[in-house]
Amino acid sequence: MSAENIRAENLTPVQQQVADLIGQDNFQRLMEVYGGTYLYIPKVDKLERLSRNEQIRAEFDGYNFRPLAQKYGLTEVTIRSIVSDKVREVRAQPMDGQLSLL
C-alpha cells in the first residue's frame, strides 16, 4: 500500500495529526515498521530529566547534596533520591591518601 492509498477519513483524529505533522510518506513508513504495536513517545522533559540526573550522579562526591540542589534548582531530598544508588558506592571508596585494609 502506498501513501496515496491512505485516506484521511480512515484515520483517527490523532493519527491524522501525526500524519499531518510528519507527512503522509513518513506516516506510511511508521505504519509499516510499527503497525499493530504500542508505541510510547516520551515527553521532551523526560529525556532532559534523565540527562540531568546522569549529570548529577557524575558530579556527586558522596556529600555534596546541598550544592547540587542549589545548582540544579532541586531539593536536597530530590538529589538524595537521584543519587541513592551511588551514595554507598562513593562512600565505600577510600579517601585520597587513605589506605584500604580490604
pLDDT at 89: 77
Cell of 22: 510528519
| Cβ–Cβ < 8 Å for 22, 30 | yes
pLDDT in tens, 12-33: 999 999 999 999 999 999 999 9
Task: Say what percent of the chain tops pLDDT 70.
Answer: 83
Burial per residue of 21-40, b for 16 or more beta-carbon CB atoms within 10 angstroms, e otherwise: eeeeeebbeeeeeeeeeeee
pTM of the model: 0.59
Residue 27 to residue 19: CA distance in whole angstroms:
5
In total, the chain counts a number of residues equal to 102
